[in-house]
Amino acid sequence: MVTKSGPAIQPPISQSVQGDVFRPSRCFLHAQSVIVIPGIRAGSALLRDILSQFKKRGKGVRRKARREGKGKSEAEMARSPVLIYLGVVLFVVLLLSFAPSRPNRLHRRLKLRSAAHLSTPSGLDRRSIPFDPIIADIERVREDREWEKSHYFPEGHAPAMESQPEWEDFMNAEDYINDEERFNVTHRIVELFPKIDVGRADGFVTADELTEWNLRQVEQEVLHRTQRDMELHDKNHDGLISFTEYEPPSWAYRLHDDNSTDNKVGWWKEEHFNASDWNGDGLLNLTEFNDFLHPADASNPKLIRWLAKEEIRERDKDKDGKLNFQEYFNGLFNLIRRTDDVHNSTFKSETSSEMPAKNLFSELDRDNDGFLSEDELLPVIGDIHPSERYYAKQQADYAITEADTDKDGRLSLKEMIENPYVFYSSIFTDDDDYDFHDEFR
């Protein structure tokens, strides 16, 4: 049972000290020492052998010079500097051969996403889940700053903000994540690997383990945004939100064509609010408010049923409270169709796609009355409104497909280190192409 104890709302992250965000990371020095030192020792030993041979040869040359005369001695001595020079060159070549070569660096640069992209309304633009908590923290700080400017200082800059403009903070953060001695991707993967491999610590990361890792990262991000919104709307600061306290975001008015007299728009109606109120006391605590803002991730059965009812309402053209085949076919079918149908079907036209649509309609129409009700939509509501778990699994499956070089269905530490761009793909860019690349938009 969800309690109504008011949660301690944390201030926006940009107002707090982020002591562990910019944490130096170093990892190559010891590995290089292990390789270089034996190389130096081997080269030094070889040089000593060469000089020893020169010394013995020099003694022989001097004895021969005494026997055969000064001219021949000078000829022999003239060759000695050449031999010494060749020996030194050989030593340098051997030393370089033992020295570690720099990794075959991809011509890529880590590039943070713009604050405008980070502040996109939830659900309007799907972006990839940050793999690395440090990257998530950096982006969260920047997003909070942009959010505070738009909500608390809409007319201008916040006090003292001119001393640290947003672009300056942006460049400092980008310089940090591109400095190998401070933020080393290889070291970060080594550090994160045991935190991901938790289901069964066998030295491999499975799709399920990576899904759970992605889900934890995005849940922290979502809850942080909910706390931020709660702080904004909780007018009496009691840790609870009433229906009168909450106002829908301004972009909601642009997205919804609401002709009713209701003072709320789209999903921000009282029915939605009441469905999110698990215990029905007319107030939303942090958990309920999070469900209100992100109903697709809620476990509240009232809210799941409300989602199904809202789908009927939006698509019910004849207003009979249920969906006929045509109402279902015009849009809803494409949201709930089977994945196999999408990839394996050969139909190209709308007419030829009616057969798989009718088959799926028949599966959902359990009472065979030719209509779909709220109850009949409940089994596929997760397909209509994918949860964060769906996207976390999608991203995990993509990463394993790309980085699993031996195709055993799991990832070793070596495979993850050799394919870092798979995990940092949302912020990796080519050196000569600084456009944002995101496979999950």
**Which one-letter DSSP state was computed for residue 382?**
H
Average pLDDT over residues 365-370: 96
Torsion angle of the four alpha carbons 416, 420, 423, 429, in this order, in degrees rounded to the nearest 10? -170
b/e sequence 175-184, b meaning 16+ C-beta within 10 Å: ebbeebeebb
Looking at every residue in the chain, the average pLDDT score rounds to 72
The separation between CA 142 and the C-alpha centre of its own chain, rounded to angstroms, equals 16
| Residue that is written with structure tokens 């070089």 in the block | 405
pLDDT, residue 174, reads 76
C-alpha 437/C-alpha 441 separation (Å) is 9
Residues found in the chain: 441
Residue 220 has pLDDT above 90, yes or no: yes
Q: What are phi and psi of 411, to 5 degrees?
A: -120, 130
pLDDT, residue 195, reads 95
pLDDT, residue 201, reads 74
Long-range (24+ apart) CB contacts under 8 A made by 384-388 are 384/307, 384/311, 384/332, 384/335, 384/336, 385/295, 385/296, 385/307, 386/296, 387/296, 387/297, 388/215, 388/218, 388/219, 388/222, 388/294, 388/296, 388/297
Residue 53 has pLDDT above 70, yes or no: no
Instruction: Say which residue, 149 or 347, is predicted with more confidence.
Output: 149
Domain boundaries, the chain: 29-98, 109-319+388-441, 323-372
pLDDT, residue 434, reads 33
Q: What are phi and psi of 241, to 5 degrees?
A: -115, 125
pLDDT, residue 93, reads 63
Residue 299 CB-half CA count within 13 A = 4
Residue 346 has pLDDT above 90, yes or no: no
H or E element in which residue 329 lies:
helix 325-329
C-alpha 160/C-alpha 165 separation (Å) is 9
Asked if residue 9 lies in contact with residue 234, where contact means CB atoms within 8 angstroms, the answer is yes
Could you tell me the two tokens for 333? 């079918």
Using DSSP's 3-state secondary structure scheme, residue 349 falls into coil
Q: What are phi and psi of 242, to 5 degrees?
A: -95, 165
Q: Which residues pair with 232 in a beta bridge?
A: none
120-165 pLDDT tens trace: 444 434 557 789 999 888 888 888 888 887 777 656 555 544 444 4
Is residue 305 exposed (0-12), middle (13-18) or buried (19+ Cβ within 10 Å)?
A: middle
User: Which range, of 65-69, 303-307, 421-425, averages the lowest pLDDT?
Assistant: 65-69
State the pTM of this model.
Answer: 0.65
Average pLDDT over residues 227-236: 91
pLDDT, residue 108, reads 60
pLDDT, residue 374, reads 94
pLDDT, residue 89, reads 64
C-alpha 283/C-alpha 301 separation (Å) is 18
pLDDT, residue 36, reads 40
Query: Please, what is the angle between helix 185-196 and helix 207-233, to 10°?
Result: 100
Q: What are phi and psi of 126, to 5 degrees?
A: -85, 120
Model confidence at 415, pLDDT cuts 50, 70, 90, reads very high
Model confidence at 189, pLDDT cuts 50, 70, 90, reads very high
381-407 pLDDT tens trace: 999 999 999 999 999 999 999 999 999
Using DSSP's 3-state secondary structure scheme, residue 411 falls into strand
Task: Choose among 178, 237, 193: nearest CA to 7.
Answer: 237
Taking every pair of Cα atoms in the chain, the longest distance, rounded to a whole number of angstroms, is 123
Helices (H) and strands (E) counted in the chain, each on its own, are 20, 4
Instruction: Say which residue, 276 or 338, is predicted with more confidence.
Output: 276
Residue 18 has pLDDT above 70, yes or no: no
Task: Choose among 243, 228, 225: nearest CA to 280.
Answer: 243
pLDDT, residue 270, reads 87
Q: What are phi and psi of 154, to 5 degrees?
A: -65, -20
